[in-house]
Structure 1
Amino acid sequence: MLKYTMKKFMLMIPMLLLISALVFFALDLTPLDPVSYIISPDAAANAANVEALRDKYGLNDPTIVRYVHWIGDILHGDFGYSIVSGTAISKIIATRLPATLELSVFALILSTMIGITIGICSAIWQNSWVDYLGRFLAVVGQSIPQFFFGICMIQIFAIKMGWFPTRGRMSPGAEGFWSRLPHLVLPVLTLTISMCAVLMRYARNSMLDVLNRDYIKTARSKGIPEWKVYLKHGFRNALKPVLVVLCFRLPMLIGGSVVIENVFSWPGIGSIITSSVNSGDYPVIMVTTLMVAVAILCASFLVDVLNAFLDPRVRLEK
């Protein structure tokens, strides 16, 4: 198991280098010019001013030279500075990441609890009203985009009823978690609706597959209580594909939900990615994209390790 884990971990290094190169060279081909966003139109008329700024930020160097410098700085813990604001990217991430983690963790926990519960209940009471309701909710959650749910939440619960604030993470002058809680409700519920849909379907299909296995019939023939058959023999064995889905949700803890953060003006990583793309802030785009890529690779690594742990045949394959 240790050899298999180390092998998968070592494979992540060339993949990270390849992804970082693709991100860097792809952004270099875009027509966005960050200099145009940090200089006034009057100063932009002076070509000398533009060239001075490009030399200052190294934008006139060959692409391969800029990539080597950038990846070297990343390895030394220097993420660079935002071209637009001049702020250290590490400071931007340290400011924005807690907001994204707060939103994503609550949505992940809530959607996991609700999605798995409804999916398992749908499988146990197949073709009942519980099953039909769960399948209907899963289809609705997957077919309707997140921003529509967000807009509906704002219109109903914020504007019409006035129960919750419409935007931001915290009211002016407020401090502490309890003052942030009303701002969390709507974006967390919006994310939960979309995330629940996939989990419901995976949990239901996996549980139905397990309930048709011979060992479930054997357990019932031994007179084991039905609830014990479902929980001990069914639920535990049905978790494998559900855990895979959950592991691939982990990158959301870093990248956040770009759509939801913009709908609710949530000051997280997702909103900074959007503003950086609009302004052509290359250093911020590259660092945040690389962070998301690292999170995805870590999730893939975790899935491989879990599969090998749950099924020894995986790690014994040549």
Structure 2
Amino acid sequence: MLKFIIRKSLITIPMLILISCIVFFAIQFSPIDPISYSVSPDVAGNSENMDALREHLGLNDPLYVQYFHWIINILKGDFGYSIITGQPIAEILALRLPATIELSVIALVLSTFFGVLLGLISAIKQNSIIDYFSRNIGVIGISIPEFFFGIIIIQVVAIQLGWLPVGGRIGVEDTTFWDRLPNLILPSLTLAFGMLAVLLRYTRNSMLDVLSKDYIKTARSKGIPEWKVYLFHAFRNSMGSILIILVFRLPMLIGGSVIIETVFMWPGIGSAILSGVSSSDYPVIMITTMMLAAAILIASFLVDVLAALLDPRIQLD
């Protein structure tokens, strides 16, 4: 197992290098000139000042030199500066990452608990009222876009009923978590609803597939109580695909949801990505993209390890 983990971890290194090359050179070859957004029109009209600024930022160096400087600085913990605001990117991430993690963790916990619970009950009570109700929730959650569901919740709960704030997030330094909770309810529920629907359907289908196996019939023939059959025989053996879905949700803890954070004016990483793209702030775009890529690679690595733990035959392959 240790060799399997080492081999899989070593594979992620060249993949991450390849992704960094794609991200860096794709941005460099784009027709957008980020310098023009960061200077006044008077400076932009002076070619000498523009050349001096490019030289100062190292944009006149060969692309391979710029790439190696960028990678070395990242390894040192220096993510560079925003061209638009001049703010260190590390500071931007430090301010916005807690908001995204707070929103994503709550949405992940809610969707996991209720998605697995409803999927489990739906499979056990197949073709019952609970099953039809759960299946309808799954279809609705997958069919309705997140931004549309968020707009509906804002209109009904926040604007018409006035129960909760429309959006935004209160500063961490000034308030406790419980003070921020009213602002957190609507975006977390919106983000959790789509995840819940997917997890519900996977849990139900996995449980139904396992319940049709011969060893389930054997366990019942031995007189094992039904709750033990469902919990220790069926549910445990159906956890493989469920765990894979959960692990692939981990990148959301880094990237958050751009759409949800935009709809609810949530100051997280997702809104920073959108702001960077709209203003052509390519240093911010590159760093946030690399963070998302690293998170996805880590999630893929964890999926491989979990799959190998659940099925040792995978290690032989």
* C-alpha distance in 2 between matches for 1:10 and 1:297: 11
Which position in structure 1 is the counterpart of 2:310? 310
* C-alpha distance in 2 between matches for 1:171 and 1:87: 19
Matched, 1:66 2:71: no
* C-alpha distance in 2 between matches for 1:172 and 1:58: 36
Q: What does 1:41-120 align with in structure 2 at a 5 Å threshold?
A: 41-120=41-120
Matched, 1:28 2:28: yes
* TM-score of the aligned structures, taking structure 2 as reference length: 0.97
* C-alpha distance in 2 between matches for 1:212 and 1:270: 42
Range 286-295 or range 33-42, more displaced: 33-42
Partner deviation per Cα, 1:255-287 (whole Å, 9 max, x = no partner):
100100111111110000110111111111111
Offset at residue 95 of structure 1 (A): 0.9
Which position in structure 2 is the counterpart of 1:261? 261
Change (3 A) 1:173 1:284: closer
Which position in structure 2 is the counterpart of 1:273? 273
* C-alpha distance in 1 between matches for 2:173 and 2:22: 43
Offset at residue 174 of structure 1 (A): 4.7
Q: Which amino acid aligns with 1:169?
A: R
Q: Please, which runs of 5 or more residues in structure 1 have no aligned partner?
A: none
Range 187-196 or range 119-128, more displaced: 119-128
* C-alpha distance in 2 between matches for 1:218 and 1:132: 29
Q: Which amino acid aligns with 1:267?
A: P
Offset at residue 130 of structure 1 (A): 1.3
- Deviating beyond 3 angstroms after TM superposition, the runs of 4 or more aligned structure 1 residues are 171-174
Q: Which amino acid aligns with 2:101?
A: L
* C-alpha distance in 1 between matches for 2:202 and 2:226: 22
Which position in structure 2 is the counterpart of 1:200? 200
Q: Which amino acid aligns with 2:189?
A: L
Q: What is the aligned-residue RMSD (CA, Å)? A: 1.3
* C-alpha distance in 2 between matches for 1:3 and 1:174: 48
Contact 1:171/1:179 (8 A) holds in 2 = no
Offset at residue 29 of structure 1 (A): 2.0
Offset at residue 74 of structure 1 (A): 1.0
Q: Give the count of matched residue pairs.
A: 317
Partner deviation per Cα, 1:284-305 (whole Å, 9 max, x = no partner):
1111110110000000000000
Offset at residue 62 of structure 1 (A): 2.1
Partner deviation per Cα, 1:117-155 (whole Å, 9 max, x = no partner):
111111111111211111111111111111001111111
Offset at residue 42 of structure 1 (A): 2.8
Matched, 1:156 2:156: yes
* TM-score of the aligned structures, taking structure 1 as reference length: 0.97
Partner deviation per Cα, 1:221-267 (whole Å, 9 max, x = no partner):
11111111111111111111000000000000001001001111111
Contact 1:103/1:187 (8 A) holds in 2 = yes
* C-alpha distance in 2 between matches for 1:144 and 1:60: 47
Contact 1:97/1:254 (8 A) holds in 2 = yes
Contact 1:100/1:253 (8 A) holds in 2 = yes
SS in 2 for 1:77: coil
SS in 1 for 2:238: helix
Q: Which amino acid aligns with 1:90?
A: A
Matched, 1:245 2:245: yes
Q: Please, which runs of 5 or more residues in structure 2 have no aligned partner?
A: none
* C-alpha distance in 1 between matches for 2:98 and 2:174: 17
